[in-house]
Amino acid sequence: MVGGEFSDGSWSDCLTYGTLLNDVALIVDMLWYYPSADTVALAAQLDILARWAYEFMREENNYAGYWAFTDNPDYPDSLRTLWHNGRIRLAGALGYAGCVLGNNDFIEAAEFDLFERDLPGGKYGFLDFQTSQSGVYNEGMSYTEYVMEGLSKFFTARKRMVDGIDWFDDDRVQSIYENSLDLISPSMSLVPFDDVHEARMRGNDGYLYQPRNMFSEALTYYYQSPPNETESRAHIKWFINCYKLHDGYEDNYTPNINTN
């Protein structure tokens, strides 16, 4: 990245960068207990990769617009982050990288962007900004999964640290996870509202199919910080049952819970 150009001005660059940062952090995380020269070298690259996001999100930058800028000559000077799921995914990826690297600056910048940054409408942090009055994520169900993909690894890693904070137990986080998961139907279709893909998606072959691969990251919530362990196990089993049902398996488990 140093000395090169990353962004062509498209909002999708932010999504690409957040996914890359999240994936590299996961690789380093999984290799952490197998120390080698390669692991150390990869961790160093992760630090370089994450520092660009840190430049945008640290509190001193005071960024809250559609474009993020940095005057650090080692990085491209701008990235189009907008105010949507890409921004939240990137903050989650930065926080996760900080947990893996033990870099408190990265963690604090991510948490500030997610929960504290002063935004229009009396909102604090982009997670609050994108939460609707009904307690679900504003951009619809498809993009909710994108957001949870960016947050779940960070929140899981943050909880296991020495000074671990359980963000899954935070009311703002619980609202988005629980209310959104409650809107998934037994057929694994998504309730179509706001800026969302159709409840059933059409493949290249022209046939409609169920997006049953969605929301795997969201289930982390039920495992990591269940308000009621018995109910959380039932929720997980309900999802497994629905996945199995639509993959053609038999002998499915149906928990006794309200899935409306």
Q: What is the CATH number of the domain that holds 87?
A: 1.50.10.100
Q: Is residue 31 included in any domain, yes or no? A: yes
Q: Is residue 252 included in any domain, yes or no? A: no
Q: Is residue 104 included in any domain, yes or no? A: yes
Residue 184 belongs to domain spanning = 12-246
Q: Which residue type, as a one-letter code, is found at position 192?
A: P
Q: Is residue 94 included in any domain, yes or no? A: yes
Q: Is residue 156 included in any domain, yes or no? A: yes
Q: Is residue 212 included in any domain, yes or no? A: yes
In whole angstroms, what is the distance from residue 5 CA to residue 44 CA?
20
**How many domains does the chain fold into?**
1
Q: Looking at 93-102, 167-176, 220-229, which range is the least confident one?
A: 220-229
24-61 core/surface letters (b: 16 or more CB in 10 A; e: else)? bbbebbebeeeeeeebeeebeebbebbbbbbbbbbeeb
Q: How high is the pLDDT of residue 114?
A: 94
Q: How high is the pLDDT of residue 248?
A: 41
pTM of the model: 0.80
Is the pLDDT assigned to residue 177 strictly greater than 50? yes
pLDDT in tens, 23-35: 999 999 988 767 6
Q: Is residue 161 included in any domain, yes or no? A: yes
Alpha helices in 116-228 (DSSP H): 126-129, 141-159, 171-181, 220-224
Is the pLDDT assigned to residue 147 strictly greater than 70? yes
pLDDT in tens, 112-137: 999 998 888 888 988 998 888 888 88
Q: Is residue 253 included in any domain, yes or no? A: no
Residue 87, burial from CB neighbour count under 10 angstroms (0-12, 13-18, 19+): buried
Is the pLDDT assigned to residue 77 strictly greater than 60? yes
